[in-house]
Structure 1
Amino acid sequence: MTLKNKLGITDEIELAHEKERISKLAALRIYRDGTLDSLAPGTFGALKAIDVALFGDIYDFAGKVRTVNLAKGNFRFASALYLESAISSIEAMSQDGFDQIVEKYVEMNIAHPFREGNGRSGRIWLDHIFRRELGLTVDWSRIGRDDYMLAMERSPIRDLEIKMELKQALSDDLQNVTLLARSVDASYSYEGYDAYRAEDLGPHSADGGNAR
């Protein structure tokens, strides 16, 4: 059963494709139009704004703190009852260096504050912190899906693996459009969204992108 959406789509595959197309376009847009530059890095306000930008045209609940409990496999994310408190604690965490930034990211992933889109919004949120605090960006295409998923699965107990994966994927090429598109594609592929290539999407494809 599909989540209720603004597009009125009830077919799960059709919704997945439209969600990928629309939100990938939005992801590219917020990097290019200065939206990210206006956000305070590491804040929940920034994460919320990113989630709304990506999914606000799809879901009414985009950017809203979830009121239901979520789990992936055997792992249960933070209880909805304590989310507000958890988010406040995470916002207060240091982001003065690489290790601190990754630790903050891991905690926000455990919180999983939204009903949908936490991974995709969270990775942009992390990249925004790296850009503003360290002058670096994450080239997600340098981290394989299985490596990323396994590292994140283990991160609540041992964050060394995700730190190692991220450290080797950092780049100082902040203005590289090809790198950005490649990173968006890789980030989305972690969640199984790979019907479109970001570099093929643009204003000309607002009414129909180029599927692979």
Structure 2
Amino acid sequence: MKQRLIDISQPLTNDMAVWPGDTPFNFKLSFTKEQTGSVNIGQITTSAHTGTHIDAPYHFDEQGKKVHELDINIYVGPARVVDVTGCEMVGREELEHIDLEGIERLLLKTSGGRDLNRFPEKFTVFRENIGLFLKEKGIRLLGTDGPSVDAVDSKTMDAHHSLNDNGVYILENIVLNEVEPDDYELIALPLSIKGADGSPVRAVLRQL
């Protein structure tokens, strides 16, 4: 019997919340079957950081890798879901008592769920020490159910840089409210967009 996949991606809808000031997601039919005589043809307009997505280092570092330069193996493999709900910030202090040995991908549940059609007024962000701590644990990917690892008004992007400086890649806006803390296989492949600073992903978990 095949194991069930758990979808942890935000649905892409025309009324979904996006980062304040960013390009809204929009899907429409450019041509209908009636017009073409054979097929419907859809058109998508979106930011590279809409919904569930990965950040390429180029997003916050002019010299950083772009999406097409990333090792896709980072985004597929064993992952551990950990519940840190209630923490306003997460770093070494909040994670050092949790068993993180032997994993390369850490997915953090920081809330009990949110309205995906409204951008959150407040969400869990990450401390500047997060990158070095995760590197010490051998973790190469950090996923969060928040829209960013840094606050909305951050200009220094301390958590982004901390993670990047320590070889930890970023997955944001995953949906974990129905997922129990446990070990899973993660599949969250970015699109191969040449020159891009990020990419939407269809992220799924498979129970190990």
Higher helix share: 1
TM-score (norm 2): 0.29
Higher strand share: 2
TM-score (norm 1): 0.28
